[in-house]
Amino acid sequence: MDVKRTLGLPGAAVVFEVIHNPESLVADGFKRKFGSPPPATDWPHHVCALWSPEPGAWRLLGYGHFGRFGDTCLVGGMYTDGRVVRELPAEARQELSRSGGLAVHLLRFGFAHLGDRFDAFFGLVEDPRALEVDLAAGFVETEHDRLVMYLPKPLDPQHVRCLQAKVLALGDF
Residue-number span of the structural domain to which 134 is assigned: 2-168
The answer to whether 147 and 166 are in contact (CB under 8 A) is no
pLDDT in the model for residue 44:
64
Longest Cα pair distance anywhere in the chain, in angstroms?
Answer: 51
Q: Amino acid identity, residue 36? A: S
59-117 pLDDT, tens per residue? 999 999 998 999 999 998 899 999 999 999 999 999 999 999 999 999 999 999 999 99
128-137 and 102-114 helices cross at what angle (nearest 10)?
50
Q: Is the pLDDT of residue 43 over 70?
A: no
Asked if the structure places residue 61 within a domain, the reply is yes
Task: Identify which has the larger pLDDT, 21 or 107.
Answer: 107
Question: 171 CB contacts (<8 Å, ≥6 apart)?
Answer: none
Number of domains within the chain: 1
Q: Which of 54-68, 117-131, 144-158 has the weakest average pLDDT?
A: 54-68
Q: What share of the chain is helix, strand, coil (3-state, %, to 5)?
A: 35, 35, 30
Percent of the chain with pLDDT over 70: 95
Asked if the structure places residue 44 within a domain, the reply is yes
Asked if the structure places residue 56 within a domain, the reply is yes
Q: How far apart are the first and last CA of the chain?
A: 26
Asked if the structure places residue 50 within a domain, the reply is yes
| Average pLDDT, rounded, for the chain | 92
User: Whole-angstrom Cα distance, residue 156 to residue 167?
Assistant: 17
pTM of this prediction?
0.91
User: Whole-angstrom Cα distance, residue 130 to residue 43?
Assistant: 24
Asked if the structure places residue 173 within a domain, the reply is no
pLDDT in the model for residue 156:
98
Q: Amino acid identity, residue 1? A: M
Q: Is the pLDDT of residue 18 over 70?
A: yes
Question: 139 CB contacts (<8 Å, ≥6 apart)?
Answer: 107, 121, 123, 148, 149, 150
Task: Identify which has the larger pLDDT, 45 or 77.
Answer: 77
Domain containing 56 — which CATH number? 3.40.630.30
Q: Which of 48-57, 143-152, 154-163 has the weakest average pLDDT?
A: 48-57
